[in-house]
Amino acid sequence: MQVRISPVRKLRGVISVPGDKSISHRAALLGAIAEGTTEIEGFAPGRDPQTTLEVLERLGVEVEREGNVIRIHGLGLRGLKPPDGPLWAGNSGTLMKLISGILAGQDFTSVLEGDESLSRRPMRVVEPLRLMGAKVSARDDLYPPLEIEGHFPLKPICYSLPVASATVKSALLLAGLYAEGRTSVEEPAPSRDHTERMLEAFGAEVERRWIREGRFEDLEEELDRRLRRAEGERGRVRVQISVEGTGKLEARRVVVPGDISSAAFFLVAGAIVPKSHIRIKDVGLNPTRRAVVEVLRRMGAEVRVEGERLVCGEPVGDLVVRGSDLKGTRIAGTLIPNLIDELPVLAVAAACARGETVIRDASELRTKETDRIRAVVENLRRMGAKVGELPDGMVIGGGGNLRGATVESFGDHRIAMAFAIAGLVAEGETVIEGAEWADISFPGFFRTLEDLSRR
């Protein structure tokens, strides 16, 4: 599907964004293995979370749908039923990795398959799940489809991730629920922590520690410090997350906040389009996700947080953005895992800023739905931007003066939406090929964009 984007003079209005996809996945999965009925309000409407519900139903879980409220009738840790065939994860790497951790602790064999894009993405859960005692096979020991022969109880391990990854970490913590003893995961930087927060809310014993040169320090304080600096550090520091196994989870009510990764497109749009004023209501402001706000502020964007409060253990508030004069910056280091999904649209902001922006340490972008580094570089060049490709990022010349062009989504929802935002400030018309991929995470994205431009 093609969508045509014309430049606009201003964007104004109050909007909401879909429920957080990451939280929706986790609420459904934990609800399925909890005891009792979990009610989830604001469940994300995108294709990926809906696929999670379909997979759970294939595993014998009763799911009730009533508008944006989902009820999951949990079966307990070991109540899942053997599926009658392969489980289809579609385009969702989050689903495939997280549910692998749960299936590793069952007493049956499962096969997980995905679409062409997902089948090219590495599933770095294979090795650690084997270490825990599950039999896992994959193409080239890394790529889907995955065949998982579960085992109970699993062995508790302490696993050191070579690259910070919220999804791999989460898979191992979920597998740790089925282990006798404490399972720990160490990562070189703090990645999003929705799994840890939700495990605690459902009654699991979770411990989080920051390790600096052999000393254990408070993780929340360290995250706050890094966000204030809005710059990643290097050095001998790691994060350790641990969970106690063989307990039980208790169902609960979950309210899903708006997805800050979806809000990021409108934060950038409001910043780069002059005379704009956008309020985005009820957005999740988790400390491991809000780095996009700090980076935009460092670039000179006027972004305010209003009405911040806690909802089900997650900070939530309104984000207000106005048109701003942006300047280039450097985005690198341990900050990267906290805004990996927002980097494509931040690259668009960088192309509209004064001066050079450098993005480094983001090689994980190459393993997403598409090679996002190459996709961003190619599309920005089509629109006349000066941009250089690096193995782990890019250098963007800035200066604005984008021109309308035909750009590709490359089958990636975030690329489609990022370049729709670029089209708002380009000279002439921009055509997005494969625009339908936006529905993966944000059904109605283009309609919301059009509504803002009419006010």
Q: Kindly list the catalytic residues.
A: 341
For residues 346 and 421, the answer to whether their CB atoms sit within 8 Å is no
Question: Which residues, in sequence order, are CB contacts of 302 under 8 Å at separation 6+?
Answer: 271, 321, 322, 323, 324
- Helix segments in 106-153, DSSP class H: 126-131
**Cβ-count burial 316-343 (b if 16+ within 10 Å, e if not):** bbbbbbbbbebbbbebbbbbbbbbbbbb
Q: Number of helices (H) and strands (E) in the chain: give both, helices first.
A: 13, 24
Closest among 182, 70, 184, 88 to 128, alpha carbons compared: 184
Type of residue at 245: G
d(CA 15, CA 213): 45
d(CA 169, CA 354): 38
**Cβ-count burial 365-404 (b if 16+ within 10 Å, e if not):** bebbbbbbbebbbbbbebbbbebeeeeebbbbbbbeebeb
d(CA 213, CA 190): 16
Widest CA span in the chain: 62
For residues 74 and 61, the answer to whether their CB atoms sit within 8 Å is yes
DSSP string, 143-158: EEEEEEE--SSBPP-E
Q: Say which DSSP state 355 is in.
A: S
Q: Say which DSSP state 127 is in.
A: H
d(CA 102, CA 121): 20
